[in-house]
Amino acid sequence: MARLNLLEETRFEKLPVKVYEDEHIASKKVAKRIADLIRRKQDKHENAVLGLATGATPVEVYEELIRMHKEEKLSFKNVITFNLDEYYPMQPDAKQSYVKFMDENLFNHIDIKRENIHIPDGTLAKEDITDYCLAYENQIGAVGGLDLQLLGIGRTGHIGFNEPGSAPNSGTRLVTLDDLTRRDASRDFGGKENVPTKAITMGIGTIFKAKEIILMAWSKKKAPIIKKAVEGEMSGNVPATYLQLSDNVEFILDEDAASELTRFNTPWLVKDCSWNKALIKKAVIWLSSEVKKPILKLTDEDYNNNGMAQLATEQGPAYDINIDVFNQLQHSITGWPGGKPNADDTQRPERKSPAKKRSIIFSPHPDDDVISMGGTFIRLVDQGHDVHVAYQTSGNTAVWDTDVLRYVEFAIDFKKSTGEDTEKLEATYEKMRDFIDKKEPNEIDLDEIRDVKAFIRKSEAIAGARYAGLKDKNIHFMALPFYETGKKVKNPVTNKDVELTMELLKEVKPHQIFAAGDFADPHGTHIVCFRIILEAMKRLRKTESWTKDCWLWMYRGAWQEFEVHEIEMAVPLSPKEVQRKRDAIFQHQSQKDRPVFPGDDEREFWVRAEERNRETAESYDKLGLANYEAMEAFVKWKFE
């Protein structure tokens, strides 16, 4: 019976999928499977032939293999490796080369024989590539083929660099990279214009010949393409769907990457559910969208015809369910994000007391506050609360070099106008200009340049906060140490980051904390900053009594938005408030028009924010609630 239940749950899935709680657990499981293979082969005095992948996905797998080598005496002397791909052209000692990646993340830390390592050669003359690729295939065949192939998956659905349009029987070859793939790699290369347009990759046909294939994916960013790869029809537009043809493949996912699979996203379509309040709310909102009816117009027939008969039978009639979900949504809407004084707060998202709250808005970068919750920020100030804003990082990697020169030129002219000596400043300016003229992609800036970039972001943040109505004494610049590396890879979080956060929290003693909860931020800064806040609060809750009355609200906006069923506080904005929010965002001039790191969304930040806020309001309207100009959305964090 259990087997039948599993088949029912996974009937939308066209290949085997195993889901783990998080990427750390999943990575350890994959590493153990590799280690077991290596040891089995050692017992037989045979070589283990591994196909290896690069990128962020397999890093923790390699870390665990290194640990097993050092602590459990796992030897790699019988291991032969073939990497999936390499950019072309690419020097092996370049920072972005996969040769360097594999050395730094695995090979330099284990006892593998260097002659057993094979990585496509990015230095070849173009006329030699065809013969080289054929030889690469022959080398794999000569050692008995791949015992296990590790794969990640790109957002185009590529495996290796087999981009959309690749044939299922393709071999190792030179390919042209998709524009989205190059955009995803742009941060590693200091801009998309520096990303190679081509790569050498194993073909899908080569990958298919492996005796075992493991495709790994972590994070919600991968969820949409995982759904297509696992549940979609086979198509050259999504090359990973060809893996549905293999009898030897398994997808290993964390819960976030699996979140859009039918059995997790809409489980009522595949099995009987244990209905709780949150799942009912999600299902009814989904049904409303599916049949294009406001919630209060949904019927028992709508429930029965769309996989929700069980809910209608157990919790119905439909109208009672509709009323309950409608009321939940209605009660999430408030024009009083700090609570409404002298009002019944039993159905409101925030408390009425104290009437004047101390609120602190944590902003990972110097503009996340106004981009993501600028309307709520302004409203909190207007309604008389003691609002503070804390900029957690300097954001100094996201300023154009031309802006640096422009600001220093301004400083020189200003000093001259006051009769001050500018010799030292002009010498610094010439040093900066010379460095910028010769600067390599992703090269760490001079300290002076990093300082100016930080000053630019700081001055803009002050202007934005002042525009929102804040006094200067309530504007805090934390410059958390983990961020201040001058490069895209940041330092690990240390006690100092947490202690600085604890000090500020103890100083303000907030009733409300607002923190960035959009973990799709491609730089990873948002989730790091959020975890620092959580750790600070975890420690403070042991000794500080005020923490028991402190609520934490998560906001989103720059990179993604909450789903309607998740929203616990929706703050409506009038057309005038939308304009005020836009003006606050405009204070961040260095991020206007074209930011240094836009991600894969070409829209300006203010446009993204406005359109997401309008889409949230439109979603509420379609569900049958009031029609507002825009809405900012929040979810309350539940402390353990």
Provide the annotated active-site residues: 163
- The strand pair at 630-636 and 569-573 is best described as antiparallel
CA distance 624 to 616: 13
CA distance 397 to 194: 17
572 secondary structure, DSSP code: E
In three-state secondary structure terms, 551 is: strand
CB 283, CB 325: distance < 8 Å: no
Question: Which among 625, 620, 567 is positioned nearest to 376, based on CA atoms?
Answer: 567
Name residue, tokens 């979080």.
Answer: 493
CB-based burial, 461-490: b 16+ in 10 Å, e otherwise: bbebbebbbbeeebbbbbebbbbeebeeeb
**Residues 6+ positions from 412 with CB-CB distance below 8 Å:** 422, 425, 426, 429
- The strand pair at 386-391 and 475-477 is best described as parallel
Name residue, tokens 């699996």.
Answer: 258
**Residues 6+ positions from 270 with CB-CB distance below 8 Å:** 8, 9, 10, 11, 12, 262, 263
3-state SS string for 180-243: HHHHHHHHHHCCHHHCCCEEEECCHHHHHCCCCEEEEECCHHHHHHHHHHHHCCCECCEHHHHH
What count of Cα atoms within 13 Å lies in the side-chain half-sphere of residue 482?
A: 20
CB 394, CB 447: distance < 8 Å: no
CA distance 100 to 98: 5
Environment class of residue 163 by beta-carbon count within 10 Å: exposed (0-12), middle (13-18) or buried (19+)? buried
CB 628, CB 334: distance < 8 Å: no
CB 498, CB 478: distance < 8 Å: no
CA distance 190 to 194: 7
CB 264, CB 230: distance < 8 Å: no
Question: Which among 288, 212, 289, 274 is positioned nearest to 243, based on CA atoms?
Answer: 212
CB 512, CB 360: distance < 8 Å: yes
Question: Which among 177, 178, 198, 196 is positioned nearest to 188, based on CA atoms?
Answer: 196
Question: Which among 265, 323, 279 is positioned nearest to 12, based on CA atoms?
Answer: 265
CB 500, CB 476: distance < 8 Å: no
> What are the tokens at 146?
């791949």
Report the first-to-last Cα separation within the chain, whole angstroms.
Answer: 36
441 preceded by cis ω (within 30°)? no
